[in-house]
């Protein structure tokens, strides 16, 4: 007889009006367990439930699981907000323990991966966890949980050992050439197709890992620095299947950076065109590999929004953030993107280490230049200005400690932003500056020359 596994996607957002995301991580885990042939898997996404805690109780009662898994995707909503998603996670863990006190509870997901030891120490209800990807360790771990054996010390597994913890760091060694399309029948994408206004709720992976070293970023910690690629044709097979089986026509390619290496994305787009797959897609792009030819290819193959995260609003900031990018490269990319007519959205960071009156004025020049370039085709979706969420182990954490923005006692599990008081208002000044231009662009207002 098969053992029963209940997988729970913890609350990933604040409020109900926020854009939802199909939980590809937990569905990947469910697929691995189901394909082992030893498990019946049920997935419950609390984000789609009208009354998530009551429905969780019902799910546990109906399933009577042998093991429960909980996925924590997000720590907090970012975007300068101070709400913590650890709060609903804590409540969920406690409810699970109350309704299924003897059932082993296994945790995982991107946010769990960022604070595994801390979360295991804070929440004793969690039996064990997987840090990073689950492809090579989930089945042996669940086998041991169901057999009541000692848990295996495989890379990525964190478990209790008496009063302490044993943690074998992940090695990111899963070869993405071996990736098999996940079993979305475990959680139908159909319910996710009508819930959002902007974001493509259905994600497809084309690769894992990120080779860049941006000073604030945790992506390499989550999936490694080596970019591991899926077969581009298999990616298109998956997109075609999603369209045919579930009617999915809008897809987010979930890679850290979708257009590096460039030829990988180019092959995917050429194949989308060759098969005449009429779908819309988006992803996060790096600026310095965008050309007139490849942006045209991306647009023709269905790219409906170019998301960019140049981050630095002036050269000094770009260098400090280790972006290995120049202001000119950002503007060159803006020009080729604007010519496609497809919406571009730029994400920048404000009040970063080294913010001064001069950097704020430089930032205004870059904002003007971007608006100027996109004005003709009205292709600037928006500019998003965020503070840096300080994460452990990053260059920004080190600088924030040196500058006294945080102290060694500052608890980074909960949202802490780099926002030194002396330059705190630069964010609002730049927000007014860009929003005024945004409204003028979309409504055709004339603006006085900002330089006068």
CA–CA distances in Å: residue 265 to residues 168, 179, 204, 418: 33, 17, 13, 34
Establish if 172 lies at the interface with ligand B12 (CB under 6 A): no
- Residue among 138 and 337 whose Cβ is closer to ligand B12: 138
- Residue among 375 and 384 whose Cβ is closer to ligand B12: 384
Using CA atoms, how far apart are residues 221 and 219, in angstroms rounded to an integer? 5
Number of residues that bind ligand B12 (CB under 6 A): 47
Nearest Cα neighbor of 138 from 160, 109, 116, 161 is: 109
Stretch that binds ligand B12, among 25-33, 162-170, 265-273, 444-452 (CB under 6 A): 25-33
- Residue among 359 and 394 whose Cβ is closer to ligand B12: 394
Residue closest to ligand B12 (Cβ): 108
Establish if 215 lies at the interface with ligand B12 (CB under 6 A): no
- Residue among 76 and 355 whose Cβ is closer to ligand B12: 76
Among 109, 172, 215, 232, binds ligand B12 (CB under 6 A): 109
Nearest Cα neighbor of 156 from 96, 116, 195, 205 is: 116
* Residues of this chain, 241-280, that bind ligand B12 according to CB under 6 A: 252, 254, 256
* Residues of this chain, 129-148, that bind ligand B12 according to CB under 6 A: 130, 133-135, 138
First-to-last C-alpha distance (Å) of the chain:
78
Torsions phi, psi of 51, nearest 5?
A: -135, 80
Stretch that binds ligand B12, among 48-56, 116-124, 201-209, 236-244 (CB under 6 A): 201-209
Stretch that binds ligand B12, among 48-56, 214-222, 272-280, 338-346 (CB under 6 A): 214-222
CA–CA distances in Å: residue 156 to residues 131, 134, 242: 5, 8, 30
Q: How far is the CB of 254 from ligand B12 (least distance, A)?
A: 4
Q: How far is the CB of 189 from ligand B12 (least distance, A)?
A: 10
Establish if 219 lies at the interface with ligand B12 (CB under 6 A): yes
Establish if 203 lies at the interface with ligand B12 (CB under 6 A): yes
Establish if 308 lies at the interface with ligand B12 (CB under 6 A): no
Using CA atoms, how far apart are residues 11 and 193, in angstroms rounded to an integer? 19
Which residues are CB-neighbours of 370 under 8 A, at least 6 positions away? 330, 331, 334, 346, 380, 383
Establish if 329 lies at the interface with ligand B12 (CB under 6 A): no
Using CA atoms, how far apart are residues 63 and 42, in angstroms rounded to an integer? 8
Establish if 305 lies at the interface with ligand B12 (CB under 6 A): no
- Residue among 248 and 327 whose Cβ is closer to ligand B12: 248
Establish if 12 lies at the interface with ligand B12 (CB under 6 A): yes
Stretch that binds ligand B12, among 110-118, 296-304, 320-328, 393-401 (CB under 6 A): 110-118
Q: How far is the CB of 223 from ligand B12 (least distance, A)?
A: 5
Torsions phi, psi of 294, nearest 5?
A: -75, -30
Q: How far is the CB of 440 from ligand B12 (least distance, A)?
A: 26
Establish if 126 lies at the interface with ligand B12 (CB under 6 A): no
User: Which residues of this protein are in contact with ligand B12, per CB under 6 A?
Assistant: 12-13, 19-22, 24-26, 28-29, 69-71, 73-79, 106-111, 113, 130, 133-135, 138, 199-203, 205, 218-219, 222-223, 252, 254, 256, 389
């Amino acid at each position: 007889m098969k053992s029963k596994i209940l997988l729970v996607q913890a609350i990933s957002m604040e409020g109900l009006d926020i854009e939802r995301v199909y939980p590809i991580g937990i569905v990947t885990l469910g697929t691995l367990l189901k394909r082992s042939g030893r498990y019946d898997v049920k997935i419950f996404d609390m984000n789609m439930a009208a009354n998530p805690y009551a429905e969780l109780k019902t799910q546990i009662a109906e399933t009577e699981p042998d093991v429960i898994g909980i996925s924590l995707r997000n720590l907090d909503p970012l975007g300068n907000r101070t709400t913590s998603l650890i709060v609903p996670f804590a409540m969920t863990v406690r409810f699970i323990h109350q309704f299924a006190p003897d059932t082993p509870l296994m945790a995982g997901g991107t946010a769990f991966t960022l604070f595994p030891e801390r979360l295991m120490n804070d929440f004793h209800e969690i039996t064990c966890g997987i840090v990073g990807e689950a492809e090579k360790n989930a089945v042996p771990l669940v086998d041991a949980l169901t057999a009541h054996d000692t848990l295996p010390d495989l890379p990525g597994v964190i478990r209790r050992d008496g009063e302490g913890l044993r943690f074998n760091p992940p090695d990111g060694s899963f070869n993405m050439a071996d990736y098999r399309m996940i079993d979305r029948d475990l959680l139908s994408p159909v319910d996710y197709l009508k819930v959002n206004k902007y974001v493509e709720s259905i994600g497809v992976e084309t690769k894992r890992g990120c080779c860049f070293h941006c000073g604030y970023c945790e992506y390499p910690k989550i999936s490694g620095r080596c970019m591991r690629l899926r077969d581009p044709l298999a990616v298109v097979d998956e997109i075609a299947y999603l369209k045919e089986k579930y009617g999915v026509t809008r897809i987010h390619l979930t890679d850290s950076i979708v257009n590096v290496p460039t030829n990988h994305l180019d092959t995917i787009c050429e194949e989308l065109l060759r098969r005449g797959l009429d779908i819309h897609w988006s992803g996060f792009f790096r600026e310095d590999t965008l050309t007139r030819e490849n942006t045209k290819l991306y647009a023709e193959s269905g790219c409906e929004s170019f998301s960019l995260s140049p981050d630095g609003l002036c050269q000094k900031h770009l260098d400090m953030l280790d972006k290995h990018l120049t202001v000119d490269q950002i503007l060159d990319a803006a020009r080729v993107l604007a010519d496609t007519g497809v919406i571009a959205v730029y994400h920048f960071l404000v009040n970063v280490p080294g913010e001064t009156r001069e950097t704020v004025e430089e930032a205004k020049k870059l904002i003007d230049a971007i608006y100027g370039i996109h004005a003709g085709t009205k292709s600037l979706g928006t500019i998003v200005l965020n503070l840096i969420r300080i994460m452990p182990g990053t260059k920004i954490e080190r600088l924030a400690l040196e500058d006294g923005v945080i102290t060694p006692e500052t608890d980074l599990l909960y949202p802490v932003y780099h926002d030194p008081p002396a330059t705190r208002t630069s964010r609002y000044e730049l927000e007014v500056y860009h929003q005024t231009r945004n409204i003028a662009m979309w409504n055709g207002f004339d603006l006085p020359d900002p330089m006068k």
